[in-house]
Structure 1
């Protein structure tokens, strides 16, 4: 939506400022080509996905909770509601962490946090549940939090669940682009989980425009805007 809004603003400027139509049209084409060809998308992703994010193996405790953040739902070719690619990576990494945790003979649970911001027939948490079961995570060790619509609500609602149990270790699983904002939101509620990155976005540089680069640019702009919003709200005392 950010790129669409940007395009709409350029279009409005072109309509209103007749004397500057040619340079505005040229700027619009150049800007969106830079996004689509990856040359602007790559530095935006570098800002949204800092390289210093932890890739160390997690440390499990006697009671460990693995927090899987929702990443949306989409329809496949058969019009079935499924997790998107990034969410599938989060499910896979969460299941592998669960298996590794169980090998230590610890008590382990997976908390799946994701509501229905897309207003689809099912929530993110409920859609992901069968995939975790296929990865051999027992239903008794899965906690569904299916009311969150934003990353902030993920943190708030998971904090309420965590507050009712005594966990010795918390592991947060999400994509690299969401991790910085997610950690800030969780720390608002006194939680400092161990980050476990499930996947990262990369721009493909070239001459020809690519739709994937536009998607990655939209994601990066969304996350950077979310970080700016967080710090603004913190400065005025809302967080």
Structure 2
């Protein structure tokens, strides 16, 4: 996405040069060069990532209650040709490990602890994220009987909507939401929209790499951060237009 923006700026520079709009062309050239350097050097992605993650850097100490749910959000699956099987993607393993860790902490209190894996087949692989992630959780000693699959959601909005339906059925009184640091803020917003008062816990924590020379990595993480910001903009626009489903009060679910 960042490269598309830079490409559009480059095309505008060329267009204004053809029209001999020298001042406009010079201004756009400066914007193009500045944007390229600020992104590549890590300054812009550092700001964007801090804005998304800073409030979730410290993991909360959970006060487990009598009926607990730990919600694991999916992040895709990857086909491994050598085994002819699907595995969680690179971004998923941190979430899975954090979920297992939270489950074990909950189980030590001898209360009711369930893991809800929310993730369908968004990539049309013929297998759901919930199925694939469950196998990893079983390897991490989370019992099958304490795992609930939500296999129909294909995006974060549906994660929240369909999980809220499960909450109404099981009547959990404590909900821990696990996702990537980059993704947890938007996830919490959507879950709150559907009446779920969640305790957000980030798994991984993404950082920019400050460098004198532009790094491709910084362009990549900028794209991840921009994807989240677009999600916030879409949510606010849909709310303004009345296109989102009715917002529920926290606790209603």
Per-residue deviation at 1:75?
A: 5.0
Structure 2 Cα separation of the partners of residues 225 and 206 of structure 1: 26
Structure 2 Cα separation of the partners of residues 149 and 7 of structure 1: 30
Name the structure 2 match of 1:125: 130
Matched, 1:59 2:58: no
Q: Counterparts of 1:158-169 in structure 2 under 5 Å?
A: 158-169=163-174
Unaligned runs of 5+ in 2: 245-253
Matched, 1:170 2:175: yes
Per-residue deviation at 1:133?
A: 0.8
Structure 1 Cα separation of the partners of residues 243 and 226 of structure 2: 22
Structure 1 Cα separation of the partners of residues 15 and 115 of structure 2: 53
Structure 1 Cα separation of the partners of residues 31 and 81 of structure 2: 37
Structure 1 Cα separation of the partners of residues 32 and 200 of structure 2: 38
The size of the alignment, in residue pairs, is 238
Name the structure 2 match of 1:28: 32
TM-score (norm. length: structure 2): 0.84
**Deviates most, 20-29 or 4-13:** 20-29
TM-score (norm. length: structure 1): 0.88
Per-residue deviation at 1:83?
A: 2.2
Per-residue deviation at 1:113?
A: 0.9
- Equivalent position SS for 1:170: strand
Q: Counterparts of 1:99-114 in structure 2 under 5 Å?
A: 99-114=104-119
Matched, 1:70 2:74: yes
State which of 131, 143, 157 in structure 1 corresponds to 2:148. Answer: 143
- Is 1:35–1:41's contact at 8 Å kept on the other side of the alignment? yes
- Is 1:38–1:204's contact at 8 Å kept on the other side of the alignment? yes
Unaligned runs of 5+ in 1: none
Residues 19-65 of structure 1, C-alpha deviations (whole Å, 9 max, x = no match): 46676456434423321221111111111223366621112222111
Per-residue deviation at 1:112?
A: 0.8
- Equivalent position SS for 2:116: strand
Per-residue deviation at 1:14?
A: 4.0
State which of 152, 161, 173 in structure 1 corresponds to 2:157. Answer: 152
Larger radius of gyration: 2
